[in-house]
Amino acid sequence: MTTGGGQVRFSVNLYNDGKVCLSLLGLTYAGDKSQRWDPQKSSLAQVLLSMQTQIFGVEEPFYNEGSGVPIHMRNTPAGRERSRKFNANIRLNTLRHAIVSHLRTPPLGFEEVSKRHFSMCRKRLLAQARRWMLEEEGNVSVFRRFERVYGELVQLLSPLTSYDGGKSLLPLKDDAAFVEGKNSSPRIETENDSTADKKAPASLSSNKSATPSPHTSRSTNTLAFNPWENPAQLRESHSGNQAGGTVEEDSDDEMYA
């Protein structure tokens, strides 16, 4: 349901037609007998647990290739760069197809629960998405793809503030610290704050007069504002800030637009 109509592959073990490749299912080589299906012992719970730990719980899925081809690249500059790009693509398509697409068109029958879920997670999602975007600021083409989908995410999440009753999950501490460091933003309230005011977090106030950080670039200047307060500001920046040259649009961008 999150393959973008059959065009996105989120892991080497997850095909864009929705199928799952797992040694437990006999679809990849398993040298250890315990990793193969045993009709007397194996269960659906074991399959789901294997997916959770071996596919969704892997930080660098690029190295999950069953043939083992990328393994020898793990500690090389080329391998680290390919893994980083692989993760950036997964992150971008997670925002596009697993979040924004479901905000636009929730699964039939799950419209209300989808709204409540994304309302509850909106602050955490925005902080994480913003971090992912800023981590790609060195690559103008990729950064602007993140920038576009981030703008959509802000716009779609803004109307959902009334669904969580002021109990939205706060950003994770690491994501908040990264965003603050990049943008000289006011301190963002996180889940670790024991004295948090859950209903009206003062840390999310406007920061239009903040002094840019030493490593501020075109991208961070564009984003030096509080997305929770004024989402239109990001959309306006797309047309008013074109430094950095032109960006070639790929077929996926054309489809997504």
Please report the sign of the dihedral spanned by the C-alpha atoms of residue 177, residue 180, residue 181, residue 186: negative
DSSP 165-212: TT-PPPPPHHHHHHHHHHHTPPPPP-TT-TT--SSS-GGGS--TTPPP
- State whether residue 129 is helix, strand or coil: helix
Residue 246: both structure tokens together: 């032109």
Spatial CA neighbour of 147 closest among 223, 255, 256, 242: 223
- DSSP, res 100: I
Catalytically annotated residue among 4, 9, 21, 65: 21
Q: Tell me the one-letter amino acid at 167.
A: K
Active site residue 21: yes
Rounded CA separation 197/120 (Å) = 16
Q: Say if CB 156 and CB 103 are below 8 A apart.
A: yes
Catalytically annotated residues: 21
